[in-house]
Each structure stands twice: as C-alpha cells, then as structure tokens.
Amino acid sequence: MNEQANRREAKRSGTEEAAILLLTLGEQEAAEVLRHLGAKDVQRVGAVMTQLSSLSRDDVSGVLEKFTHAVEHQTSVGVGADQYVRRVLVNALGEEEASGVIDRILVGRSSKGLEALKWMDARGVAEMIRQEHPQIVSIVLAYLDPEQAADVLALLPDTVRGDVIARIATLDGIQPSALSELDEVLEKQFAGSTVTRTSSFGGAKAAANILNQLEPSVETAILEDIKQTDTALGDRIEELIFTFDDLFDIDDRGLQELLRQVPGDRLVVALKGADDTLKEKIFRNMSQRASEMLKDDLEARGPMRLSDVEGAQKEVLAAARKLADAGTISLGGKGEQYV
C-alpha cells in the first residue's frame, strides 16, 4: 500500500471503516451484520455508506486488513450507491423500519444542522429550541432518535410538552417550507443549508416511541394534556405505547427469546412491580430450575424503590423493542396490526 493510501487510512474513522467493510460484503451479508446493530449505529454507518466515493483498491484493502484476512480480496465495491444502501437496510430492518432510517440518512446528508443536533447532548438541544415555535420543536424531535427526543422533551416546559407530542403525532410528512424554516433556525449555530426534500417523519407511532422513553408520571401527564384538547388523538397515541404488562401478549417463543436477552438480576427487579398473570407466564417459559430460582429471588427481595423497578422494566421493554425491530419477535397487542 502506497504512502498516500496510508495517510488516507490513518484519517478514516471507525464508522467509515465499518461502512467500507459492509460495502464489500454484498447485500445479504451486510444485512446480516446490520441486524445486530442498534438503530443509531445503523443510521450512522448507512449515512457514511451513501457518502463514500472514489475508493481505490488500496483504500479498501487497507480497511479489510484490519478486520480479517478471509475477505482481503473482496475489493469489487459499488461505492456511493443509494439504491444499494436502501436494499441492504430493507433486508436488515424490514420495509417499514428501514424507510424511516433511509429518510433520516438522505435528509441528514443534505442538512448539516439536523445531523449536528444528534451529536449534541439533550440539554444543548433543549436550550436551542426552547424559544422556537412548537411546530419547529416537533420536527426536531421527530428527526431525533426516540431516546434522545425523550431526553430533550423532558427538559422542555411542562406547558408545551403535550402540544409538541400532539404535533409529532399528526405530522404527515414534512413540507419543504417547514424544513427550510428549520434550517434557517439551525443555520445560526451550524451554518446548515436549506433542505427542500419532503420526508415521512412523525406520526402517532413516533409520538408513542418518544413517550415510551419517559418516566411514567411524565408520560401520563403529557397524555392527559393531549386528551384535554383532542381525546381521539390521545387515545390513539396511548394505544401505541407499549407497556410492561403488554409483554403478556408476546407469544411463548418470542417471550423465551426475550428472556434470553435480559440479565437475571434486572428481570428480578422488573418483576417486583409486575402483574401476577405476567409473572406466571414468564415462569412457564423458563426451565423449572430457572423458574424456581427466579421465584426464590423475588421472595428474598425486600421492598424496592418504584424508580428502580420502573428503570428495570424500561430496560426489558427496550430489549423487546430491539428484537421486534429486528423481526425476531412480534410484540402483539398495542400498536400491532394484522391483516
């Protein structure tokens, strides 16, 4: 490898190297890798994959040498192809989940302001948008990952939270004028360029995903606020919120897969506040020995703080949503539609 290639390799980030590796694997193999990544990592790597261009054989070989000698000669790469990335993401995540990720990648690629927000802490984003119109705030939160959006929402005044969530739930694509307005706001900090592409952010499910990340008391307060002005919308969002009790609606095979992903000590804490029928279903989907040990641990635990129990339950729910996003399990119950 020549000196120039060495210099380029030294400047590449881990994300760029991962993107180059995925581009060498082929669609099906890359999809298998992406299934094991979180949504944020998929989005980050996918965005880089769409930006890469003019890679030489030396560029690719330098990256491959860091990973494995087995793929050393896989250097025929279709670099910079949006369609390739689209197909890989659909194979990895499914059409519905991939569409949101693809929208974020393509919009983010042409909007420095929006993408920059993802690298800010929640308090910084909240301070930036605190004085903006609720419609602008709703677009920003719809663009962020649900966890980050929830952190930002929690830092906003109580008086605007319900309005913002309602606006997210009723977003039906983002019009060019709205994105242009948002870019003008962000340009003050990031010199973002104007974006004129429409995108399918928002919706009741996006609003529910954000509320799922909040403390139950905050979630309830926001829902009650929304219902005061639009009962039907509040009910729709509430139907899509996946709660710990809804684990009962997961079929036995899916529940067994979920239990394999949850550390035993966190499951014990989470079950302290669970309904008896849910506990019994979980016991039935464990080996007799594991079930007896779990029951003993539950009996041995004394009173626990509600915040600790709710925190453990959120960890279990996060694992369930990750498996559902990967197509490994079906959550059933709230938010699921069958035809």
Asked whether residue 339 is assigned to any structural domain, the reply reads no
Asked whether residue 333 is assigned to any structural domain, the reply reads no
Task: Specify the pLDDT at position 337.
Answer: 40
pLDDT tens string 241-281: 777 888 888 889 999 999 998 888 889 999 987 888 999 99
Residues 6+ apart with CB under 8 A from 137: 129, 156, 160, 164, 167
Mean pLDDT of 217-229: 86
CA distance 300 to 276: 17
Task: Specify the pLDDT at position 70.
Answer: 37
Domain boundary among 58, 91, 109: 109
b/e sequence 199-209, b meaning 16+ C-beta within 10 Å: bebbbbbbbbb
Same domain, 272 and 291: yes
> Any idea which of 56-70, 123-137, 167-181 has the lowest mean pLDDT?
56-70
Q: What is the mean pLDDT of the chain?
A: 75
Asked whether residue 335 is assigned to any structural domain, the reply reads no
Domain boundary among 52, 74, 109: 109
> Any idea which of 56-65, 162-171, 279-288, 307-316 has the lowest mean pLDDT?
56-65
CATH number assigned to the domain comprising residue 283: 1.10.220.30
The whole domain housing 275 covers: 244-325
Asked whether residue 165 is assigned to any structural domain, the reply reads yes
Taking the whole predicted model, whether its pTM rises above 0.75 is answered as no
Mean pLDDT of 114-121: 71
Mean pLDDT of 310-337: 75
